[in-house]
Each structure stands twice: as structure tokens, then as C-alpha cells.
Amino acid sequence: MQEIGHFIGGKHVAGTSGRTAIVYNPATGEVQATVALASVAEIRAAVENAKAAQPKWAATNPQRRARVFFKFVELLNKHMDELAEMLSKEHGKTIEDSKGDIIRGLEVCEFVCGIPHLAKGEFTEGAGPAIDMYSIRQPVGIGAGITPFNFPGMIPMWMFAPAIACGNAFILKPSERDPSLPIRLAELIIEAGLPAGILNVVNGDKAAVDAILADPDIAAISFVGSTPIARYVYGTAAMNGKRAQCFGGAKNHMIIMPDADMDQAVNALMGAGYGSAGERCMAISVAVPVGEDTANRLVEKLVPKIESLRIGPYTDDKADMGPLVTKDAYNRVNGLIDRGVEEGAKLVVDGRGFKLQGYEDGYFVGGSLFDHVTPSMDIYKTEIFGPVLSVVRAKNYEDALDLPMKHEYGNGVAIYTRDGDAARDFASRINIGMIGVNVPIPVPLAYHSFGGWKASSFGDLNQHGTDSIKFWTRTKTITARWPSGIKDGAEFVMPTMK
Ligand code: NAD
């Protein structure tokens, strides 16, 4: 059986902790590999490699650092089919969706090809008598990234691309559920010219995360995953004096106004609710039709589409969605559907018990739809992270707006309407980080920043865009006076520009 280890100092390294986790094929339930779970010593070995390599990399001029990313992008495109298959095999999502996952990461690599411009400082000539003042951005040193299972291509690249382009060395601790792709990305970036030791991939679980959080040489930590762990990583990192940005779970609503183009809204909900089997932090999991008539029309159009979803393994190139990632995820999602029934929501389409011929042991859950869900129900409050859409009927626009406003999470939200006034009012008042107007999954492109509000995000700088350059660098401001021969006496008051 395949044994997945680590990638440290530019080389594959077998695990030495004696602890491993199992990697399954979600479509068949078969064990396909084991992955090493790193100990404190293995994290330390990666940090030592990073520490030795980082100063030279930081001193490499930014154009040369950018060239590594130009080449890396080329290699990602060249190997796209192989990478997508590697991803799908462990995650379960369709090949086209895996390509989307990788391409969204590739776009961040394209963005950081502009690092010579992005990391430029600021200069003020004559800030005082013969005084110039300038600010420069220097790498933080060693950064670490802890990533979730659902985007094993995109999210590692969200983190390591800007961190490395800024001159840092990086320790990536990917999800233990789909660890192969991150290691392959590290191999490819070495082939693109990155010096060994600048990107290290160390597999592991809580023990590895705790070792990262405690390591005195790691200056900044980026985390993406569920909210309880995001909160824990943020708090611990801050207590240990590290910079941290931690992104958590979500419950994304889509408001459907009575004037919306219903076919467009229904198609949007199908893709955003059931694509990737609902295992996306920007999936729409709550539909909020405004008015009874809108709700009735919406449900009527959704039902046949959900019932005819094509569900299959990643090898079925016509499948709309695949299985869930693990048996635990399968049990959890089925349990939440049971809970919704107990709570009195109306289960209009029931995906429990879905079986695919020839894949009876796979972790498939059929598309499911609840109607008449209310805000007090667990299925409304909890992030289900499966192919389950809840309809919460709102009487009017204000009631609809109130739902995402009061929800614990604040990642993404969408409104479907033809009314520009309503859309503008919505975008302005809502307390959520990423807003779609007639766009169901409003994931910002690489040159803007990605991040939610409320319990979906801890820290103040987002992923990619200019925020990422700020996160992975420290500002230093220099005040210099030349010529140095100016003579004046000691000043005991604060100098001001009176
Ligand atoms: P998870 O929280 O279980 O795992 C995330 C990472 O934390 C993994 O690397 C894992 O090994 C590690 N981890 C797990 N338990 C830990 C513990 N007790 N202590 C320390 N580290 C631990 O998340 P997941 O199931 O892999 O991913 C799904 C979650 O991620 C969902 O909640 C989803 O909404 C969220 N997500 C959020 C975003 C975003 O940008 N906000 C993006 C993608 C996914």
C-alpha cells in the first residue's frame, strides 16, 4: 500500500513518529494509502530546513522570485490532468471540479508573479529638513499554513504562493484526508526553481498543528478549516506572539426576491448547493425566498432538478457531484438529515439511503431538500457540509435580510433580484464578507481578497490580494537625514511639523 510521508528540504522523507492515518477512496470506501502523522521532532526538522534556506531566498531579488512562479504556473498547466486526478481520487469531487480547485490556486500564483510591484515600499522625500522617510516590506521569516480537506489545491496555494513570493520559507500542514496533491505541488515548485527548504510539506494531525503553534521560529500562521479549530489556532497563535489569520465555517444564504429570474436562481442554487457535494465553504446551504408565491415557485422548480442530479465517482465525467470525503462525513450528514426530520422541517427530497450500483460502499449522499426550516432548528444553525439545502421562507425583504445578519457565520451571501435598489441596500447593510448580486458563489478573484466576517474569520487580513502581501511581510519605516553634517542642539519636545 502507498505510504505518504513528508516533503522536507526538497526531498521525500518517510514519517518517523510511528503514527499514521488512513486515506480512503471515497467512491469505493477502499483504503488507498496511509499518511504519516508528524511528531514535534519532524515539525522541528522542517523548521530547521526552512531556517537555513530562508535568508538567501529573502535576499534573492523579487524579479527572480517571480520567475519561479511564472515557471510553476507553466508546470501546473502542463500537469493539470494528472494533478486533477490525484485530487479527485482522494477527495471524491469530479475531475472538472478538481481542475477548478487547482486553477483557483494557480491564479494566486499568477497574481504573485507581480511581487516586484506588489511588495514595493513607500518613500517620502523631504519629510522634514533634509529628512527622507521610507517604508519597506520585509518577509516575516518562516510562515506556516494549515489547510482543510475540501480544497487541497487552491487553499495551500492561497497561502504558500504569497508567503514564498514575499521571501519567506513555508511549512505546509495539509489535511490528512487528501495529502497527495500538496506534496506534488511542492515537487513541481522545486522543479520550477524554488530552492530546497523554502516549501516544506509536513503531514499530520493535532499534534503537528500544536507543534507549529509552539515553535518559536514560526512567525505567522494561516489556517483554514472549521470554526472551533480556527478559534483555537487563532487564540493559541496570538498567545504565543505569532501573527495569525484563521478562516472558519459558513452557512451561506441566498435571498430570492419576488422579481428574480426564477430559472436563473434555481440553476444557481443547484450548482452552489450541490456542486462538490456541498463540501465548499462558499456553498449555498440556505435559500430564502421572499413571499409565499416565490417560495412555492422555487421549491416546485428545484425538486425535479435535485431528483435528477447525476451522482457518481470522479471517473464518471458526466457526474454533477461525487461522494462525501469520509465515512464520518457521511454519517454526520445523514445524522443531520435525521435531525431535521425530528425537528419538524419538511424533507421534500431525501438523499439518505442513496446507493450507486457498483459503489455500494462509497460515501454517497443524494441531493436533499428541506422546506419550512426555521432559525431555531439545528439544521439551520449548523454547517452541514453536505448536499443538503434548507429553504427558510421569509415574509418580506427585511425578514430575509435579518436571517444572514443574525446568523453566527458571515462568509458569503447572495441576492437574486432585478431590483438595483434592493441589491445595493443589501450589499451595503449586510454584515458578511463576500456578497453576490445574481452570483451564487461570490469567491473573489486572486487580485481581490477572500475572507468572511463573524465566526467565519479570526484576524484582520484576508487571503490573497494585497492583504496577503501585508500578512506575509512586516513593515519597517526608516527616517534618514542626509547630509549628516547639519548641526543643531538637543530637542526635548516631540518634533512636529509646526
Ligand atoms: P478541520 O477543521 O477538521 O481541519 C482543518 C485543519 O485543521 C486540518 O489540517 C486538520 O488536520 C487540522 N485539525 C483538525 N482537528 C484539529 C485539532 N483538534 N487541533 C488542531 N488542528 C486540527 O476542517 P475540514 O473538515 O478539513 O474542512 C472543512 C471545514 O473548513 C468547513 O467548516 C469549511 O467551512 C471550512 N472551510 C472554510 C474556508 C474559508 O475560507 N472560510 C474554506 C474552506 C473550508
What confidence tens digit (pLDDT) does each residue in 390-417 have? Answer: 999 999 999 999 999 999 999 999 999 9
- Give me the pLDDT at residue 259, please: 98
Least Cα distance to 155 among 463, 453, 468 occurs for 463
Residue 250: which pLDDT band, with cuts at 50, 70 and 90? very high
Q: What is the mean pLDDT of residues 253-265?
A: 98
Q: Which atom of ligand 1 is nearest to the CA of 225?
A: 30
Set 109, 113, 246, 281: catalytic member? 281
Residue 107: which pLDDT band, with cuts at 50, 70 and 90? very high
Residue 475: which pLDDT band, with cuts at 50, 70 and 90? very high
pLDDT tens per residue, range 314-356: 999 999 999 999 999 999 999 999 999 999 999 999 999 999 9
Q: What is the mean pLDDT of residues 20-36?
A: 97
Distance CA 202, CA 174 (A): 7
Distance CA 58, CA 56 (A): 5
Least Cα distance to 106 among 84, 88, 90 occurs for 84
- Ligand 1, from 108, 224, 252, 411: best to mutate by most atoms within 8 Å of Cβ? 224
Question: Does the beta carbon of 83 lie inside 6 Å of ligand 1?
Answer: no
- Give me the pLDDT at residue 384, please: 98
Query: Is 248's pLDDT higher than 90?
Result: yes
DSSP for 66-88 reads HHHHHHHHHHHHHTHHHHHHHHH
Q: Which atom of ligand 1 is nearest to the CA of 174?
A: 9
Query: Is 187's pLDDT higher than 80?
Result: yes
Please state the domain extents for the chain: 2-248+456-478, 257-437
What is the identity of the amino acid at 171?
I
What is the identity of the amino acid at 137?
R
Query: CB-based contacts of 239: which residues, under 8 Å, 6+ apart?
Result: none
Domain covering 2-248+456-478 in this structure, CATH number: 3.40.605.10
Question: Does the beta carbon of 176 lie inside 6 Å of ligand 1?
Answer: yes
Residue 371: which pLDDT band, with cuts at 50, 70 and 90? very high
Query: Is 32's pLDDT higher than 90?
Result: yes
| Annotation says 113 is catalytic | no
Phi-psi region of 88 (alpha: psi -120 to 50; beta: other; left: phi over 0): alpha
Q: What is the mean pLDDT of residues 72-95?
A: 98
Q: For domain 257-437, is the CATH number 3.40.309.10?
A: yes
- Give me the pLDDT at residue 369, please: 98
Ligand 1 mean position, distance from CA 289 (Å): 31
Query: Is 497's pLDDT higher than 80?
Result: no
Distance CA 247, CA 244 (A): 10
